[in-house]
Amino acid sequence: MAIIFDTERQTFKLDTPSSSYVFKVSPKGYLLHLYYGASVPDTDLDYLRLNLHSASFSANVASPEEKGMTLDTTWLEYPTNGISDFRVSALSIRGATGSSATDIRYKSHKIYAGKPGLPGLPATYVNSDDEADTLELTCVDELTGAQVVILYTVFTKLDVITRSVRVTNTSDKSFRIERIHSTAVDFNDSDFELLHLQGRWAKERTLVKRHLEFGLQGIHSKRGSSSHNNNPFVALARDGYTEESGEVYGFSLVYSSNFAAEIEVDCMRSTRVLLGINPEDFGWLLEPGETFTAPEVAMVYSNNGVGGMSRTYHKLYRHNLCRGEWKTKKRPILVNNWEGTYFNFDDDKLVAIAKDAADLGIEMFVMDDGWFGVRNNDDCSLGDWYVNESKLKGGLKSLVDRVNALGLKFGIWFEPEMISPNSDLYRAHPDWCLHVNGRERSIGRRQYVLDMSRADVRDNIFNQMYKILSSANIEYVKWDFNRNLTEVGSDLLPPERQSEVAHRYMLGVYELLERLLTAFPKLLLEGCSGGGGRFDPGMLYYSPQIWTSDDTDAMERLEIQYGTSIVYPPSTMSAHVSASPNHQTGRSSSFKTRGDVAMAGAFGYELDLTKLTDDERALVRQQVEAYHKYYNVIQDGDYYRLINPTEDKANITSAAAWESVSQDKNEILLTYVVMRTQVAISRYIRLRGLDPAKIYTDTASGRKYSGALLMNAGLNLTGGWKDGESRVWHFIAE
């Protein structure tokens, strides 16, 4: 098995194909972390432990066999609060005594093949039990009666270890969980760069790098979503790493709400990494017999740099997180009418766009915001999910039938979690939005947020959506979420449980998503949150593709898609060709370049096709043909980032390049985009991931190259480039 327990040494060893993770049980029952890194055959790693007193005030918690051990400097597998480890803790429980000191000790364990699910939460899964082994480690806090089960799953073919925690109250008194992180890892040094994905609306997931410093550092969200600003992911990259070399440790949280990644470098230069639910404004009252389950963290080890880490996450999330009908099924090319019409449309206008789409080879038409209630702008009708027949004069089924008759699938936009003050639903149920009695209700984008912690609210929205989706042949839903959570309170919970609302809200959203997909298992669901404000593994469990950003400008998308690819596979990144000049930036880009950039993800269009010129229509046909020709290598190939558009050292932020390599290394697709050209600047680009012994033919020119030549000497791209110009190379092995 991938997990062994050395009874003599009381040591657990977890092995992925290229990494080992080792910890032991001390004589007093503490879990002592020993090692996480490149594979080692040994189980006797106890000599690595740091046995130092940090100060005369440090408590000695050792047994006679462990003289001198103090938790203040010991590397701990799951550190808890208030028991002489003064670093940031993973778990804090306030018991009946009023104290938050939490002391868990090893009780038992079991090891088995396969991987369990997490009740009510998204999580990675295995397709057969031989893909993973699981360790359930049971610890107990005798005073509070908290039974803490730490779950580890080791994937046998990927360098992935997942972690989660569940706490059960085995006592006869309630207690409150005040802090619960899903994973904790201690490293014996601090020679790392911290990598994370920072952003804002229309500029999501820019890769940020900073060297670790003494003290506490990290990222978080308290917006009720994973957010545009930070993504629930961090990595530690060992000094000297590059895109394709060196050690990198990734930590990705499968959760869509408030999170925190906390990294502390202590006085001994040791580093602790924690990731889980944001402890700010969080608390969970656990009654006797109840269990709380924390979301999952997927940890990835790479000794092939950031790129190696990314490709592991891509495989994991594409094949062991995304589910259902569209997990690996070829996605249809779609056109969305939003930037083409905004709210100004009727059924005839939509059918006119659909006719052009059918003529051009596009496969799906998606009707965006404005089809329901009395909605002609964004100040009303959210929550009123009935058809606006003054716009769709023949009704929804008539429109869908007309679009289907053209040979196109039909999709529709919803924003199920929101409610407009100017809506029938709000007038009937003003208590159904998140609110704190006695406080003003904050408006965001002219809307409130429905209290998804309430079953009656979820039932109402589900029933409305079910009626719409059952009324016609609708095969796609774009699920939007356009504002952050404020005044996070619920009328149905007592004061002592108001700190649970944010997490209960997210559990409610997950439940609604699960119910919808159970009712409509063939539905293609696309996530959206003002663009990429909830682009996280939790949502990918339900929606295999997510709208990457509301900024559709090709030059901006280069950076956004580059950062997104650090964790998420191309198949999950919805990317569309939009109008020029771009509606967000005003920048003009060629139709070809817009297509080349969008082809790197789940491809589609976001414009009024009836306004295209003949030349542009010809380019659409070429792009549709290319999409089908290159689909497999883009969507399921190994992805290599060749030039970082935010850090192009050669030409000072002037270009971007990426490459997809088929799993058998027989097909290569290389894309190069010039953002800003310069005079008399040379450019050579070396490919990656090829078979050096194979001969590759450039399908456009017929020229042949060895894989070794393309990787070691590269292609000469010097000269003749214009701003915004792009090119795609396609190579096939003989």
Q: Do 146 and 102 form a contact (C-beta atoms < 8 A)? A: yes
Of the listed 85, 480, 551, 596, which one is catalytic? 480
| 175 phi/psi in degrees, rounded to 5 | -145, 165
State whether 601 and 683 are in the same domain.
no
pLDDT value at position 119? 97
Asked whether residue 328 is assigned to any structural domain, the reply reads no
pLDDT value at position 64? 59
Tell me the CA distances in angstroms from 385 to 296, 395, 396, 615, one per residue in order.
34, 13, 12, 40
State whether 609 and 682 are in the same domain.
no
- 667-709 pLDDT tens trace: 999 999 999 887 767 889 999 999 999 999 999 999 999 999 9
State whether 18 and 132 are in the same domain.
yes
Tell me the CA distances in angstroms from 32 to 11, 35, 86, 162, 180, one per residue in order.
9, 10, 16, 18, 19
* Domain final position from 298, 320, 342: 320
Instruction: Count the neighbouring beta carbons within 10 Å of the beta carbon of residue 306.
Output: 24
Q: Average the pLDDT over 225-236 and give the result.
A: 98
* Domain final position from 584, 608, 630: 630
Q: Average the pLDDT over 217-237 and give the result.
A: 98
Q: Average the pLDDT over 105-130 and give the result.
A: 98
Q: Is the confidence at residue 651, as pLDDT, over 80?
A: no
pLDDT value at position 718? 87
DSSP for residue 18: S
Asked whether residue 327 is assigned to any structural domain, the reply reads no
Q: Average the pLDDT over 178-192 and give the result.
A: 98
pLDDT band at 152 (very low <50, low <70, confident <90, very high): very high
Q: Is the confidence at residue 211, as pLDDT, over 90?
A: yes
Q: Token match 């003949």: residue? A: 614
State whether 458 and 556 are in the same domain.
yes
Of the listed 103, 451, 550, 596, which one is catalytic? 550
- 426-475 pLDDT tens trace: 999 999 999 999 999 999 999 999 999 999 999 999 999 999 999 999 99
Q: Is the confidence at residue 510, as pLDDT, over 90?
A: yes
- 48-80 pLDDT tens trace: 987 665 555 566 665 655 666 788 889 999 999
Asked whether residue 160 is assigned to any structural domain, the reply reads yes
Asked whether residue 326 is assigned to any structural domain, the reply reads no
Asked whether residue 718 is assigned to any structural domain, the reply reads yes
Asked whether residue 635 is assigned to any structural domain, the reply reads no
Full residue range of the structural domain in which residue 557 is found: 334-630
Asked whether residue 438 is assigned to any structural domain, the reply reads yes
Element (H, E) at 641: strand 638-643
pLDDT value at position 55? 54
State whether 552 and 584 are in the same domain.
yes
Q: Is the confidence at residue 389, as pLDDT, over 60?
A: yes
pLDDT band at 337 (very low <50, low <70, confident <90, very high): very high
CATH (domain of 391): 3.20.20.70
Q: Do 50 and 58 form a contact (C-beta atoms < 8 A)? A: no
State whether 659 and 624 are in the same domain.
no
Q: Average the pLDDT over 124-134 and give the result.
A: 97
Percent of the chain with pLDDT over 90: 93
Q: Do 218 and 479 form a contact (C-beta atoms < 8 A)? A: no
Does the predicted model carry a pTM greater than 0.85? yes
Q: Token match 């408590």: residue? A: 59
State whether 121 and 231 are in the same domain.
yes
CATH (domain of 727): 2.60.40.1180
3-class DSSP assignment, residue 292: strand
State whether 531 and 430 are in the same domain.
yes
pLDDT value at position 67? 65
Cis status of the peptide bond prior to 581, with omega within 30 of 0: yes
Number of domains in the chain: 3
State whether 376 and 286 are in the same domain.
no
State whether 287 and 157 are in the same domain.
yes
State whether 309 and 360 are in the same domain.
no
pLDDT value at position 720? 82
List the Cα angle 431/432/434 in 5-degree steps: 90
Instruction: Count the neighbouring beta carbons within 10 Å of the beta carbon of residue 700.
Output: 11
Q: Do 298 and 124 form a contact (C-beta atoms < 8 A)? A: yes
User: What are the E-state strand segments in 246-372?
Assistant: 248-254, 259-265, 271-277, 284-286, 291-293, 296-302, 334-336, 364-367
User: What's the CA gap between 667 and 249, in Å, rounded?
Assistant: 29
Active site residue 129: no
State whether 593 and 523 are in the same domain.
yes
pLDDT band at 372 (very low <50, low <70, confident <90, very high): very high
pLDDT band at 611 (very low <50, low <70, confident <90, very high): very high
Backbone CA torsion sign across 416, 420, 424, 429 = positive
Q: Average the pLDDT over 317-322 and give the result.
A: 98
Q: Average the pLDDT over 492-502 and give the result.
A: 98
* Domain final position from 320, 350, 366: 320
Mean pLDDT of the chain: 95
User: What's the CA gap between 308 and 57, in Å, rounded?
Assistant: 44
Active site residue 359: no
CATH (domain of 59): 2.70.98.60
Instruction: Count the neighbouring beta carbons within 10 Å of the beta carbon of residue 408.
Output: 23
Asked whether residue 325 is assigned to any structural domain, the reply reads no
